[in-house]
Structure 1
């Protein structure tokens, strides 16, 4: 884009479901800035708080909360979502109205929605970012997938952060037969870079996701690592105003880390114990890390991804209730996630906003 042209304003809106949607938007926001666009960030909760810390000089707006909560028992996850569905619909209607007002008020020229269901417009180019063309919900997958694809069709383009062919990372999640919408596979998105640095930690534990499951896993792992004798760094995934660090024996605890600190810590760690969320998987691919997954109980997407990668001989996993620290020895029998080098041509991607 010529520097003589007026900068266009792009509204980027990640879903507040854990931190994954927010963190994978970080490279997109940076690319917008590098290509002479003005990003405005809109979200809610910890997703918005994280991006405000990452981009303190970027304008942020608040969207209504979907009030997504996990059940304490993973088996009840789907029913908990159904119970919250009326509140979610209200939030979607509210965000539709807000976006219509914001387009006029802030002179918005384009939209990138990362799974925010009510963020789109017929007046400006709209892009939908997702790795779930098919939304897995057990025996209702066919229905939730149809609903989600109906949302996708409201946008000019759908960007999937994966490879189109085989091998790929998302499998059935991110691939659909004969899609009737404008689909672009842009390659894995990550804010991380691999570095050759001395190892400081034998094990890195990083938690994420909504409560109460994040907290339940934290308590379980705190107990499990009492018998782990090597050096551990434990990032709880709690976004607060100030960073807190605590040393207890061989374990260094942090409430959260910014992107720069996380990148350094990932590179300094031998193996990683974490959820099998897709953004985390993309980060591990970029860093060529060996890992062990504990999928969030009842979240079909994470369970599917963990099983897929285990079946391919890449990463082992265990159910949360079954995990024991000795399970980490299984990592030796798996290849680890391979590096996928797919440079993103942001200039070509952003052409959607120039039409």
Structure 2
């Protein structure tokens, strides 16, 4: 009997989105008999280690992006960090090279870590934001695409026929649409409602805290039961209460699925991993793009044009208007259900083919 393959899963650490969507990939590879190793940094690595405590771990250098409070200053703050991120890419390539030699890795699957590939082993890149939209990022967009093309394959977590990623994933070189990636499953419909609004915080500081404070301030003026989930596995997990507003620094994905079912409405960022999770759960969402992140604005506009979910700029958020904003839209219910298993099906057939050829 052939020995099972060793797979190194490398995950980007900008927020938790790449880590949460990688949970499905890791779970399915374990089911297929792969010997999985995980590599990441920061809170993303902490989530992966908590979710799969028995797996070998490689701690990669962290990108540690610093964001601006002002959307106007955002491009310049990002450009100032470009040199630091290039150094991280070079360092993670060295880390991975040593690790595959020391641990006999057969395959690398990298979720948005450009330096996590190696000529010695088959390497797959997962990403949806392949065409950078910002004027300040266009000079490096071609260079990043060149790095992606050095991988053996590129997987886009979307559907070819009804692309939610739109222009973000429009490239002219070989790639595969592999279906959306979310480990979440809807909680039973019998779960009773407990909250009027569930607010899901995500992304880096300082905008995460700015958004949290805005929601808490507006919640204090309403008679609604509001739950804020912070996405911070590094903090104390104790629940904090202020009037009718409850704050939990972190919940695991399975618990998040239950909380969505317990809530009438959801307010969240329009990061792509969050969108895939909300689609899987059939949530009725108001999207609030992170200020300065054009990718999130592109995704939010795309879903609004498809009549799925509305969006509003953070500076214009008025929580009391939530029911009226959501009323004309269909929500995610039923939109994703038929295709929930597409990624798993792709991975299973691809894995069988990969083992035969390698």
TM-score class normalised by the smaller sequence: over 0.9
TM-score by length of 2: 0.93
Equivalent-residue separation in structure 2 for 1:76 and 1:7 (angstroms): 50
2:142 paired with 1:146: yes
In structure 1, the partner of 2:180 is: 188
Equivalent-residue separation in structure 1 for 2:137 and 2:61 (angstroms): 26
Equivalent-residue separation in structure 1 for 2:192 and 2:335 (angstroms): 20
Offset of 1:295 from its aligned partner?
0.4
Choose which of 229, 239, 247 in structure 2 pairs with 1:245. 239
In structure 1, the partner of 2:90 is: 93
Contact 1:125/1:352, CA 8 A, preserved across alignment: no
Offset of 1:143 from its aligned partner?
3.5
User: Which consecutive aligned stretches of 4+ in structure 1 deviate over 6 angstroms post-superposition?
Assistant: none
> Secondary structure of 2:216's partner?
helix
Once the two structures are superposed, residues 6-61 of structure 1 have per-residue CA deviations (whole angstroms, 9 ceiling, x without a partner) of 12111111111111011000000000100000111111111111111111111211
Choose which of 329, 332, 357 in structure 2 pairs with 1:334. 329
> Secondary structure of 1:120's partner?
coil
> Secondary structure of 1:172's partner?
helix
Equivalent-residue separation in structure 1 for 2:29 and 2:112 (angstroms): 19
In structure 1, the partner of 2:99 is: 102
Between 193-202 and 295-304, the greater mean CA deviation after superposition: 193-202
Equivalent-residue separation in structure 2 for 1:297 and 1:91 (angstroms): 25
Equivalent-residue separation in structure 1 for 2:229 and 2:103 (angstroms): 37
Choose which of 114, 118, 134 in structure 2 pairs with 1:117. 114
Equivalent-residue separation in structure 2 for 1:85 and 1:349 (angstroms): 35
In structure 2, the partner of 1:275 is: 269
Offset of 1:267 from its aligned partner?
2.0
In structure 2, the partner of 1:24 is: 21
Contact 1:291/1:315, CA 8 A, preserved across alignment: yes
Offset of 1:5 from its aligned partner?
2.7
Contact 2:110/2:116, CA 8 A, preserved across alignment: yes
Equivalent-residue separation in structure 2 for 1:75 and 1:40 (angstroms): 40
TM-score by length of 1: 0.94
Equivalent-residue separation in structure 1 for 2:46 and 2:75 (angstroms): 27
Equivalent-residue separation in structure 2 for 1:352 and 1:216 (angstroms): 46
2:134 paired with 1:134: no
Once the two structures are superposed, residues 245-300 of structure 1 have per-residue CA deviations (whole angstroms, 9 ceiling, x without a partner) of 12332222101001221121122222110100000100111111110011011101
Choose which of 46, 49, 54 in structure 2 pairs with 1:49. 46
In structure 1, the partner of 2:260 is: 266
Contact 1:13/1:41, CA 8 A, preserved across alignment: yes
> Secondary structure of 1:298's partner?
coil
> Secondary structure of 1:48's partner?
helix
> Secondary structure of 1:75's partner?
coil
Aligned residues: 347
C-alpha RMSD of matched pairs (Å): 1.5
Equivalent-residue separation in structure 1 for 2:354 and 2:176 (angstroms): 12
Equivalent-residue separation in structure 1 for 2:235 and 2:292 (angstroms): 31
Offset of 1:240 from its aligned partner?
2.2
Contact 2:15/2:44, CA 8 A, preserved across alignment: yes
Instruction: Extract unaligned runs of 5+ from structure 1.
Output: none
Equivalent-residue separation in structure 1 for 2:205 and 2:89 (angstroms): 21
Equivalent-residue separation in structure 1 for 2:49 and 2:72 (angstroms): 34
Offset of 1:334 from its aligned partner?
1.2
Offset of 1:140 from its aligned partner?
4.5
2:294 paired with 1:297: no
